Chain A
Amino acid sequence: MGRVTKAIDALGRSVLYSVEEMGRIVLLFISVLGWMFRPPLRLRLIFKQMEFVGVRSIFVVVLTGMFTGMVMALQGYHGFRMFSAEGMVGATVALGMTRELGPVLTSLMVTARAGSAMAAEIGTMKVTEQVDALYVMAANPIQYLIVPRVIAGVIMVPFLTIISDFVGIVGGYFVGVGLLNINSGIFMKNITKMVELSDIFNGLVKAACFGLILSLVGCYKGFHATGGAEGVGRATTEAVVLASITILISDYFLTALMF
């Protein structure tokens, strides 16, 4: 009986902790919104973060987008060939990339690259009192550190998703038309017939939401890091895990709402 009670106790604790943490992240978001519209507008910092989150993630996003499109074409080809519907490969790749894989894979890659860096950088600043130094010098750390990162996340993840969508379809074209001899005209026609502007647009809205999640979680975990190097390491790992899980779960609900 004691063991069962303990297990229920532990479960309850972890549920309570998770709910509390979600609440604190939402409070941070409200605070970020409040500071976003107060002067000074820190354009230099925003551009610096946009470069870090966006420009420096292009290579990994191109690589993952390209190979995802290629493998989708390969898998799709083998499936559609059974019904002699190889021409549908292009539309499948394009729909899959724009609606789902483009935004999700891009955000997961940016989480791994930039979300972790946000947690590590802010976490290090927290444990070495640099965050306190900002407070002391009357520069609010939420405005100085978190707002530029959140803006960069919300703007740049959709841009990266556009790139991912495009190279994914190019990869699919290369495998489908180039290697598997699908008719180029049919491949392209099915894409234009099946893919609507709303598919692309909804995918980008999702990407913006994921950009918000990964930057907010990364900053939150860094901002609450304690206990030196070990604490920063823990914050970084937790940021990647929590952001990735939240992205995948919210993806389901966003999809259910949009499509």
Chain B
Amino acid sequence: MIELIDVHKSFGKHRVLTGLNLSIEDGKTTVIIGLSGGGKSVLLKHIIGLMKPERGQVLVDGVDMTRLNDRELNEIRKKFGMLFQEAALFDSMTVGENVAFPLREHARLKEKEIREIVSDCLRAVGLSGTEKKMPSELSGGMRKRVGLARAIALRPQIVLFDEPTTGLDPVMTEAINQLIMETQEEFRLTCVVISHDLQSIFRIGHRIAMLYEGGIIAQGTPEDIRASRDPVIKQFLAGSIEGPIRIM
């Protein structure tokens, strides 16, 4: 269970999170929606301890991430996998080395076992046999899939996705969505997905939370969100420029 309680964060005078509260259930996919530049990535970085709030708590299985030192943070991060927006593959390493990285760092396995897990993970994302390729040889969609393979290599309990389908064509978007759903189901993962791709949101989310002006203004099942009468949510889902959302 991940809980964010009264989280405040600002950059200079710009207040990004203003007393945000959010609960994320175990074994479900929670999608966080909101405007571009609205603080979704900042929220995700708080969950994994890449950023610390000025005030408030971030609890992961009851442990407050904001009070941990480097060593304790490293321990708890082994529960996590994360797929970055541009995949963030290490471009000095091959695909195989990228996927093997968390295993070599933490798993104390023999080289043969590592190779087998890498091969399994790449097969799971439909990229068997690409171990020797460099990230620069891959397309955007393939890079994201390798990123997902790396994120799940250590069999984490929680996987965070930072805009997994942004910039992809509709077919690849569907392939990534399918992959997220299959992986979530297979490993009973807690997934937190940031997205503003409406089609994906309703396809993969068990729960949806809307971030607006520094706080969560609504959360519920996809049906709840679709049926919401909140003018901000209605405008966001309709993609309309008329309404309470101010366009910067």
Q: Which residues of A contact B (CB under 8 A)?
A: 121, 124-125, 128-130, 132-133, 135-140
Pick from A121, A124, A135: contact of B50, CB under 8 Å: A135
Are B88's CB and A139's CB within 8 A? no
Per CB-CB distance, the 9 closest pairs between chain A and chain B, nearest first, are A129-B88, A133-B88, A138-B74, A138-B77, A136-B82, A137-B102, A129-B84, A130-B88, A139-B105
Pick from B77, B90, B91: contact of A135, CB under 8 Å: B77
Docked Cα-Cα span, A133 to B86, in Å, equals 11
Closest to A139 in B: B105
Would you list 25 pairs from A and B whose C-beta atoms are within 8 A, ordered by A residue? A121-B92, A124-B91, A128-B86, A128-B88, A128-B91, A129-B84, A129-B85, A130-B88, A130-B89, A130-B90, A130-B91, A132-B88, A133-B82, A135-B77, A136-B77, A137-B101, A137-B150, A138-B74, A138-B77, A138-B78, A138-B105, A138-B106, A139-B105, A140-B70, A140-B74
Docked Cα-Cα span, A129 to B102, in Å, equals 16
**Total of A-B residue pairs, C-beta within 8 Å:** 49
Distance of A232 from chain B, by nearest CB (Å)? 13
Docked Cα-Cα span, A138 to B49, in Å, equals 11
Q: Which residues of B contact A (CB under 8 A)?
A: 45, 48-50, 70, 73-75, 77-78, 80-82, 84-86, 88-92, 101-102, 105-106, 150
Distance of B146 from chain A, by nearest CB (Å)? 12
Closest to A144 in B: B105
Are B106's CB and A136's CB within 8 A? no
Give the residue among A124, A130, A136 with the most B Cβ atoms within 10 A: A136
Docked Cα-Cα span, A199 to B91, in Å, equals 44
Q: Which residues of B contact A130 (CB under 8 A)?
A: 88-91
Docked Cα-Cα span, A138 to B50, in Å, equals 11
Q: Which residues of A contact B75 (CB under 8 A)?
A: 138
Q: Which residues of B contact A129 (CB under 8 A)?
A: 84-86, 88
Docked Cα-Cα span, A121 to B92, in Å, equals 10
Distance of B155 from chain A, by nearest CB (Å)? 13
Closest to B84 in A: A129
Are B84's CB and A132's CB within 8 A? yes
Distance of A149 from chain B, by nearest CB (Å)? 13
Closest to B103 in A: A137
Given A130-B90, A130-B91, A137 contacting B105 (CB threshold 8 A): yes
Docked Cα-Cα span, A125 to B106, in Å, equals 22
Q: Which residues of A contact B73 (CB under 8 A)?
A: 138
Q: A128-B91, A133-B84, A135-B49 are in contact. List 5 more A-B contacts (CB 8 A).
A: A129-B84, A132-B84, A138-B74, A138-B77, A138-B102
Q: Which residues of A contact B92 (CB under 8 A)?
A: 121
Q: Which residues of B contact A139 (CB under 8 A)?
A: 101, 105
Docked Cα-Cα span, A236 to B112, in Å, equals 40
Q: Which residues of B contact A135 (CB under 8 A)?
A: 48-50, 77
Pick from B70, B77, B91: contact of A137, CB under 8 Å: B77
Distance of B19 from chain A, by nearest CB (Å)? 25
